[in-house]
Amino acid sequence: MAAIVSPGLCASCRHARPIAGARSTFWLCDRSRTDPRFPRYPRLPVVRCAGYERAAGEVTPAPPAPPG
């Protein structure tokens, strides 16, 4: 059984979409169609990307409250 890997930035990027395979899910980068700098299926998790754009409706999580 394969480990589940978080997609990182791809999960909230307007240019990424999940592609379900037989045993796993891949994240397709639509920017790869027009710009060769972007891999079609990037290695996960993506923690930095020059082409990242937040998808409409995605909310940035609030930082945790300080203790006390």
Measured distance CA(48)–CA(19) in Å, rounded:
21
Whole-number pLDDT of residue 50: 96
CB-CB contact of 43 with 29 (8 Å):
no
Q: What is the pLDDT of residues 24-62, one digit of tens each?
A: 899 999 999 999 999 999 999 999 999 999 998 766 555
CA-wise closest residue to 10 among 61, 38, 45: 45
Q: Can you give the pTM of this predicted structure?
A: 0.73
Whole-number pLDDT of residue 67: 72
